[in-house]
Amino acid sequence: MNLNEFIRDIPDFPEQGIVFKDITPLMGNPVALQAVQEGLLDLLQGLKIDKVVGMESRGFFLGPALAMHLNAGFVPLRKPGKLPHTTLKQAYGLEYGKDVLEMHTDAIEKGERVLIHDDVLATGGTAEAACKLVEQAGGVVVQCNFLIELDFLKGRERISAYSVQSLLHY
């Protein structure tokens, strides 16, 4: 199955000059969705994972399903003001703008093995912020795992301290 057929390019979204990779056609197709989940799990090659960390909001699309298959917990990283308990916070820049991610202070225990998952690796700003939050809490980032990597933005270089795996490259 060619998964690229289910990812659509939207020019000038969310701003002029950005070509947005829209994965909603893929999410809407049960066969493609199953293939993606199996592909992402294959990238892990049997690594033991305690927690899957997913970034709001598209990291929530597949992160919990991966966690269930790995027999791991799921930890949501959220945009500011959304998490109700005490949080760690990390500011970052991304391909189109800047933001802050928050994580509950008790979401990860010291020494836990963490998989970072998101739909897209672009500049790597979001993933780098996620890794920092996990490490602040004492977790160990075992792999950063993406559905799509935009190779030309070189996000992988920004998170070169970690193992980076992506299912599809553009």
Ligand X SMILES: O=P(O)(O)OC[C@H]1O[C@H](OP(=O)(O)OP(=O)(O)O)[C@H](O)[C@@H]1O
Q: Tell me the catalytic residues.
A: 58, 95
Shortest distance (Å) from residue 121 CB to ligand ADE:
8
Question: Which residues, in sequence order, are CB contacts of 44 under 8 Å at separation 6+?
Answer: 70, 115, 143, 145, 165
Question: In the complex with ligand ADE, which residue's Cβ is closer, 48 or 79?
Answer: 79
Shortest distance (Å) from residue 48 CB to ligand X:
25
Shortest distance (Å) from residue 16 CB to ligand X:
16
Question: Which residues, in sequence order, are CB contacts of 120 under 8 Å at separation 6+?
Answer: 21, 58, 146, 147, 148, 149, 150
Region 108-127 residues binding ligand X, contact defined as CB under 6 A: 118-127
Binding site for ligand ADE (CB under 6 A): 18-21, 94-95, 120, 122, 150
Closest by alpha carbon to 132, among 163, 88, 98, 71? 88
How many angstroms separate the CA atoms of 55 and 116, rounded?
8
Question: In the complex with ligand ADE, which residue's Cβ is closer, 58 or 104?
Answer: 58
Give residues in contact with ligand X (CB under 6 A): 55-58, 94-95, 118-127, 155
